[in-house]
Every structure is written in C-alpha cells, then in structure tokens.
Chains A and B, each alone.
Chain A
C-alpha cells in the first residue's frame, strides 16, 4: 500500500522559512516523479513544484520560483520542499503527490496523495 506522510507544517512569519518532508513507502520510490500541490483556503489545487525520480529534473510554479527548492533523498524515500521568503499568500495546505506511472519526468499526474500539511504565514 502506498503511503505518503507529510510533515513540517506550521505557523511562520512573513519572510521566514520552513522545510516540508514527505516520507514515502509502499512503492519503488526512485522510479516515480513526485510533486507538491497546494490548496489555499477555499481555493482550488495549484502546482507548487515537481521532481523526477532521479532528482535530475525539477519544476517550479511561477509563484514560488526562486523562493522554494524541491529535492529528494532516494536512500530515505523522502522528498523535501525548502520554502524561503515566505509570504502570506503561501498560506495553504501542502500535499505531496506521487505520479500515476513509473517514469522519469517532472510532469506528474497524481495517482496517490498524502494527507497534507498546513502552512500558515502570518505575523
């Protein structure tokens, strides 16, 4: 059974930093692209970032480019999202998602989702 467990959320001040983690199990982690998708309160789903199975390729949404960094440690079956220069508009639930298929790509189409972790950016 696929499991994706996010951690690292919380309250942070504008300009601050947080690091999210997504611990994965139940599949061959290094064969799948992984993504972070967020959902602001009462809003739809928004791509944040994605990373290929090897970690060689990454993608960032325009709203986070230059501030967030995605990475993965295939020895620990974990994907990370380093979030710097946080803004109030980054307030959202952040979901970790696994690609539906085993392929080397950042174009993730989610087959499995984590439970999400809430980030609140406020002074």
Chain B
C-alpha cells in the first residue's frame, strides 16, 4: 500500500498565505490520484474542502484553493483566519488499491 505524506505541522500568521502539500511514496501525484482535502477543526468531524485536485464544495471558503505543485497535491490558504486553525487531511486514490489518507497537517494560525 502506498504511503501518503503531509507536513506534520505548519504555522501561518493571520492574513498570511500557507501551502500544505500531500505526497505519494509511489511517485509524483497527478490529477489521476483525484486528491481530496479535508479540514478538521478541534473537537469536530472532518469536512470535505477540495475534491479532484481543485474542485471546491459549496461551503469551501474562497481563500482555499487546491492544485498540483512540484509532484505533490497542494492546498493553499490565502488570507488565513483564526477559524482556519485545524488539522488538514489529504486523500489520494490509486488505480491498483484503496484510497489512502495522509497523516494530517496541524495548521496553527498565530
């Protein structure tokens, strides 16, 4: 089974910009991995932010965007707000196996 890697933790200043990444042990992440991004605020359930690399759910704030960057899936937050402090999980799909979650990135807004 593939291993999906994320930064364990990142910090961003209020109003700042930060990029979280999601890599795969099998090689470059492509659109064929259909990357998903989930936000999980403290004490809450996950909620889906991004699917299929860059598509947003109806509830996804405009300051979040998804992309492919340097062989990884990326989630960029532009104009961080205090309520964006959360754990962010990515999910990659594989044609020869099950989707795999990354370990999550704890984002601190400070």
Binding site for B on A (CB under 8 A): 44-47, 59, 95, 100, 107-116
Bound CA span A113–B104, Å:
17
14 A-B contact pairs sorted by A residue (CB < 8 Å): A45-B38, A45-B46, A45-B101, A45-B104, A47-B98, A95-B45, A109-B99, A111-B57, A112-B48, A113-B38, A113-B47, A113-B48, A114-B45, A115-B45
Q: State which of A44, A108, A109, A111 has its C-beta within 8 Å of the C-beta of B89.
A: A44
For residue B92, which residue of chain A has the nearest CB? A109
For residue A96, which residue of chain B has the nearest CB? B45
For residue A97, which residue of chain B has the nearest CB? B46
How many residues on B have C-beta within 8 angstroms of the other chain's C-beta atoms? 19
For residue B91, which residue of chain A has the nearest CB? A109
Q: In the complex, are the beta carbons of B57 and A95 less than 8 A apart?
A: no
Q: In the complex, are the beta carbons of B45 and A116 less than 8 A apart?
A: yes
**Chain B neighbourhood of A46, CB < 8 A:** 101
Binding site for A on B (CB under 8 A): 34, 36, 38, 44-48, 51, 57, 89, 91, 93, 98-99, 101-104
A33 → chain B closest CB, angstroms: 12
A122 → chain B closest CB, angstroms: 21
**Chain B neighbourhood of A112, CB < 8 A:** 48
Known: A44-B89, A45-B104. A107 touches B45 (CB 8 A): no
Q: In the complex, are the beta carbons of B99 and A107 less than 8 A apart?
A: yes
Other A-B pairs, 14, CB within 8 Å; known A47-B101, A110-B38: A44-B101, A45-B38, A45-B104, A95-B45, A95-B46, A100-B51, A107-B93, A109-B93, A110-B48, A111-B51, A111-B57, A112-B48, A113-B45, A113-B48
